[in-house]
Structure 1
Amino acid sequence: MELTGLLQIAPFQGMKEEELVAFLFGSPNSLKCFEPGDVIVRQGNLCKGLYLLASGSVRAGMINDEGKELTVEEMKAPSLLASAFIFATENRFPVNVEAVEPCEVFIIGKERFLEFMHLHPLMMQNFLKDISDRSVFLSKKLNEFALLNLKNRLLKYLETHSVIHNQQEVAQRLGVTRPSLARALSELVNEGKIKK
């Protein structure tokens, strides 16, 4: 695990490495390791503190009662997981978080995190900026799903990723079935908007 990389993300920007070490390794914090496919947290679990992805990568996704899956985001370390929900009135994880590759995750208790932010105002300012940025990200994501039809979402996806390697993964990311995705792809090819 590389601590200098952690100093580049909110809320740790501008902190000294020794301050970060004191914060991360103080009691009652814990460091947990996960293998690919392991569930780090389940949708609906209480968010009891700050979850910090220190190494590896994860997939955050939702699943409904019928088993339909939607990939909300894929994150690489270093990164905060569900930072906007730590201090929420209903502080439950809105997504399942699953390890994509071997991961290390620090879990810092809410009280310790709050106490440390009071001692380090810059940390608090950075954290507030981070959760505000997450709100902007989620607003954009919601806009994509609420206002764009599948073909437009697919075109938007292709703008950023340029190619589809795995239709099932893309279907999960877009919140549709694989046959619906295949049908939309065929229509876009027939309309001349994309090439096969």
Structure 2
Amino acid sequence: MENTTDTYAEILLETPIFTGWKKEYLTAFLNQSRYYIRSYKADSLIMIQGSECSYLSLLTEGKVNALLMNDEGKQVIIEDMQAPRAIAPAALFATESRYPVYIQSVTECKIFYIDKAQFEELMHKEEVIMKNFIRLLSDKSIFLSKKINTFALQTLKERLVSYLKNNVEERITQQELANRLGVTRPSLSRVLSELINEGTLSVENRKIFINDKNKRQ
């Protein structure tokens, strides 16, 4: 029967940072490292924007959102994250090592925290871990560039239609959709009405159809 550390190693090997590494190496690393695991209920605020980032945070179970929020409570969902994922990896070694977003659980979830200094030491020793981390940061940079392009260069109508096409199976409320698009609910309702009147969208049994390709939301 495997011990607890072996079990943790198997779980972490599924994350993008440790993929491709040998289980026995990861088990040995964990045996001499400072780490802890926390479980969170759905709708828990896990990380606060601006708080210090002193651990590598790995989502091993569940789903979380990365979001921005102002003092009035307006939210913009930047990213949906499903396990296994690293959470805000770019913040770990930034000049100001602080979380750039809020992290909120969507479902019950577990997060594995590894000491920052020990992870940095590991990267210096293991090329595969360093390459995985660099690749992760590069992918994140490209993702954010596309996100900025969407917000800066597309109209709300274009963003809405694009979102519906790319998320045909998702079931969310109008407020959640507004949060993902970075607009108020009244603005979203107005654009939805315009697209329905134009014939681009239609609604049946509270489901939205994209008429040009008969796709559904």
Q: TM-score range by the shorter chain?
A: over 0.9
C-alpha separation in 2, matches of 1:24 and 1:63? 35
* Residues 142-178 of structure 1, C-alpha deviations (whole Å, 9 max, x = no match): 1111111111110110111136641111001111111
1:183 aligns with 2:214: no
Contact 1:43–1:95 at 8 Å: present in 2 too? Answer: yes
1:56 aligns with 2:62: yes
Compared CA separation, residues 87 and 160, structure 1 to 2 (3 A)? same
**Residue correspondence of structure 1 range 1-196 to structure 2 within 5 A:** 3-4=9-10, 6-24=12-30, 26-162=32-168, 165-196=172-203
SS class of match (2:131): helix
SS class of match (1:71): strand
TM-score for both structures, normalised by structure 1? 0.92
Q: What RMSD, in angstroms, separates the aligned Cα atoms of the two structures?
A: 1.8
The alpha carbon displacement at 1:23 in A equals 3.5
SS class of match (2:64): strand
The alpha carbon displacement at 1:24 in A equals 4.2
SS class of match (1:195): strand
SS class of match (1:173): helix
Higher Cα Rg, which structure: 2
**2:71 partner letter:** D
C-alpha separation in 2, matches of 1:127 and 1:178? 37
C-alpha separation in 1, matches of 2:174 and 2:66? 18
**2:142 partner letter:** V
Bigger RCO (CA 8 Å, 6+ sep): 1
Compared CA separation, residues 150 and 28, structure 1 to 2 (3 A)? same
SS class of match (2:122): helix
Q: Percent same amino acid among aligned pairs? A: 46
C-alpha separation in 2, matches of 1:67 and 1:45? 18
The alpha carbon displacement at 1:44 in A equals 0.8
SS class of match (1:10): coil
Contact 2:157–2:191 at 8 Å: present in 1 too? Answer: yes
Aligned length: 196
Contact 1:38–1:99 at 8 Å: present in 2 too? Answer: yes
Contact 2:15–2:58 at 8 Å: present in 1 too? Answer: no
C-alpha separation in 1, matches of 2:64 and 2:32? 25
Compared CA separation, residues 192 and 14, structure 1 to 2 (3 A)? same
